Structure 1
Amino acid sequence: MPVNLADQLKQQALAQGFAVAGVASTSAGGRMPLRTAALERWLAAGYQADMAWMNNPKRLAVQQLLPGVRSLLAVGLNYYVDQQQGVGVARIARYGWGRDYHRLIEQRLKRLGRWLELQQPDSRWRVCVDTAPLLDKAWAEEAGIGWIGKNGNLISQSHGSWLLLGHLLTTCELTPDAPAIPLCGSCNDCLPACPTGAIAEPFVVDSRRCIAFHSIENRDDTLPLPLHGWVAGCDLCQEVCPWNKHHAKASTDPELQPRNWILQSKPQELKEWDDNQWDEALRSSALRRIKPQMWRRNLGCL
């Protein structure tokens, strides 16, 4: 096996448009046992709210996702763009401004998997985006592309936390990168920035108090807390992060550029949309997870 196969794979990942890429070994060790224990404590505290899928036991054992897995490639897709939402516009988290990132990351990782298979014909691989039961942020940290910050997001020295994560699991044994070193230091800016107190303590997010959770995942007719101007997700803890203020880089990827209605639509206008208008606006969008009745409910909270 070529000794530089890992470097070649990372170069291929950057050529596919990913901002960062790193490799981790999936053998036991590193910080993963600690991250697994932290997940179990988080679940025991009920911080997952209604997200029952977080209890999937496969999340604790990467080998169940791909038998014989030996390495993984972690990638980050930079979704920060120069544009800003207009004054008085219903606030929508940046992850949903462009095309559905699940499809973008999956398509690009599949190309990398096919490239890797050409180099190692006997190898097997699997693509994982955030819908797979994988400790994605922990593995990204282990692969060296960023560290898990006090707001629970992965933070990169080069791009801040405006990264959407994906992973390519493989039976190839690739030379791993060094795990990322946490660099939040004494900064706690993200904790008071959350108006609902969802960051229960540094590194621990209580979904039951999270605006993003309730605006996206909560299917109830009414919400237990105010949304503070947000109707889809929330970026407050990212907007105050010094790493984002000083290291965010604008993406020129055409697939990630914002749709006009997201930048310009006022709440009153959106309240008048019927289901067909929502269906059209949300085509090929990750925001499609929020159903029309949920949009109307969220807008009614403003």
Structure 2
Amino acid sequence: MSSLPPDYTALADRIRALAHAAGFQRVGISGIELAEDETFLRSWLAEGLHGSMQWMASHGDKRSRPAELHPGTLRVVSVGLDYGRDADAAWANLRDGERAYVARYALGRDYHKLMRNRLQRLAETVQAEIGPFGHRAFVDSAPVLERALARNAGLGWIGKHTCLIDSDGGSWFFLGELFVDLPLPIDPPATAHCGTCTRCIDICPTQAIVAPYRLDARRCISYLTIEHEGSIDEALRPLIGNRIFGCDDCQLICPWNKFAKRSDEPDFRVRNDLDKATLVELFAWEEDEFLRRTEGSAIRRSGHERWLRNIAVALGNAPKSEAVIAALQSRREHPSEVVREHVAWALARHDLRSSFSP
């Protein structure tokens, strides 16, 4: 006698329950059709708005075709993990030119391993209950259109700043995916609720959001301080302010983030006092100290050279003081040409200022 086919509706409910039990605040299931998003991505790449991120184009259409990335995929389980922070503290940090600003997501440990492990355990639990099935977990580990899939799974809509927004929790959450070969029922996609609001576009320090839903990465501070190698365009340096790793302005200003949930996930707690550290303190880290302090952190991907480059720019934008000048002068003969260039630029900026800050 043949066994009865699985009750996929009940299985979908079970997967949602297990995802919540695993610590994910958001979970939804989508199909794999992303034709409109593929067209948008092709247009964005054709305009060169991805800057030097060649990996965005190197996989062809696999990014928008889940079944080509992982053969057999029928559905995608998208999950969200909150990392909400105190917006008032972030604004205070940005206003203090002597302090360094690090994107809120990078203040604690790197989220990738945590989320991937939880997704893998989720898949293993389901497999233990229903038997073997095809699956693969992703957390920024492959070419995946995660925001489009999460939107289609009902986790939120893609805002004008291109981040995902949930009306019940804002945009302060990480995304992960579990590709499966199970024909689960799908959730309704999220609908957009940005309306006529343009706060994110208006506040962007470098005007990187060139149109609603269209980001020019070449002007984006997150791209410039994290992904971009080499010299930063001199015209953009003064606009970076004290942001040394990433930028949150478009999320901080978003009115939907008044609903964001603050997370006390131990891995996301602030490390190395990065929420209040001064630029001078962080500029003094030698490479061995940088590597030690950033172990398990997303910041490590920038490397020590870019870390110093970014801080040199921020020091050039900082109020003039003896400590700032001394810090910059300590790196004037750094082995890296990139670091030396940005230090020289920062010192030249201060030479134009007649006095030290009180």
TM-score by length of structure 1 reads 0.95
Asked if 2 retains the 8 angstrom alpha-carbon contact of 1:78 and 1:162, the reply is yes
Whether 1:150 and 2:160 are equivalent positions in the alignment is: yes
Moved more, 247-256 or 84-93: 84-93
Cα distance in 2, alignment partners of residues 300 and 223 from structure 1: 14
Cα distance in 2, alignment partners of residues 260 and 16 from structure 1: 28
3-state SS, counterpart of residue 85 of structure 2: coil
Report deviation, 1:223: 4.1
Asked if 2 retains the 8 angstrom alpha-carbon contact of 1:81 and 1:257, the reply is no
Moved more, 81-90 or 206-215: 81-90
Matches within 5 A, 1:5-16: 5-16=11-22
1:184 corresponds to which of 194, 201, 211: 194
Whether 1:235 and 2:248 are equivalent positions in the alignment is: yes
Whether 1:195 and 2:197 are equivalent positions in the alignment is: no
3-state SS, counterpart of residue 275 of structure 2: helix
Deviations 1:90-110 (A, max 9, x none): 000011111111101101100
Specify whether residues 222 and 47 from structure 1 end up closer, same or farther in structure 2 by C-alpha distance, changes over 3 A only: closer
User: In the alignment, which residue of structure 1 is the partner of 2:308?
Assistant: 296
Gapped regions of structure 2 (runs ≥ 5)? 1-5, 315-358
- Residue type of the alignment partner of 1:90: A
- Residue type of the alignment partner of 2:162: G
Report deviation, 1:174: 1.0
Gapped regions of structure 1 (runs ≥ 5)? none
- Residue type of the alignment partner of 1:64: E
3-state SS, counterpart of residue 263 of structure 1: coil
Cα distance in 2, alignment partners of residues 174 and 157 from structure 1: 25
Cα distance in 2, alignment partners of residues 286 and 167 from structure 1: 19
Deviations 1:46-79 (A, max 9, x none): 0000111111221121112221111111011111
1:136 corresponds to which of 134, 140, 146: 146
Asked if 1 retains the 8 angstrom alpha-carbon contact of 2:64 and 2:145, the reply is yes
3-state SS, counterpart of residue 50 of structure 1: coil
Cα distance in 1, alignment partners of residues 309 and 233 from structure 2: 8
Asked if 1 retains the 8 angstrom alpha-carbon contact of 2:224 and 2:232, the reply is no
Cα distance in 2, alignment partners of residues 146 and 129 from structure 1: 17
Report deviation, 1:119: 2.9
User: In the alignment, which residue of structure 2 is the partner of 1:69?
Assistant: 73
Cα distance in 2, alignment partners of residues 77 and 42 from structure 1: 28
3-state SS, counterpart of residue 55 of structure 2: helix
Asked if 2 retains the 8 angstrom alpha-carbon contact of 1:214 and 1:223, the reply is no
Cα distance in 2, alignment partners of residues 59 and 125 from structure 1: 17
Asked if 1 retains the 8 angstrom alpha-carbon contact of 2:199 and 2:254, the reply is yes
User: In the alignment, which residue of structure 2 is the partner of 1:120?
Assistant: 130
3-state SS, counterpart of residue 290 of structure 1: helix
Report deviation, 1:222: 4.1
Give the root-mean-square deviation of aligned CA atoms: 1.4
3-state SS, counterpart of residue 136 of structure 2: strand
User: In the alignment, which residue of structure 2 is the partner of 1:220?
Assistant: 230
Whether 1:283 and 2:287 are equivalent positions in the alignment is: no
Report deviation, 1:264: 2.4
User: In the alignment, which residue of structure 2 is the partner of 1:262?
Assistant: 274
How many residue pairs are counted as aligned between the two chains? 297
Report deviation, 1:82: 4.0
Moved more, 111-120 or 97-106: 111-120
Whether 1:80 and 2:92 are equivalent positions in the alignment is: no
1:45 corresponds to which of 42, 47, 54: 47
Report deviation, 1:154: 0.4
3-state SS, counterpart of residue 14 of structure 2: helix
Higher RCO structure, 1 or 2 (CA under 8 Å, sep 6+): 1
3-state SS, counterpart of residue 262 of structure 1: coil
Report deviation, 1:159: 1.4
Report deviation, 1:131: 2.8
Question: Structure 1 vs Structure 2: percent identity of aligned residues?
Answer: 37
- Residue type of the alignment partner of 1:100: D
TM-score by length of structure 2 reads 0.80
- Residue type of the alignment partner of 1:183: H
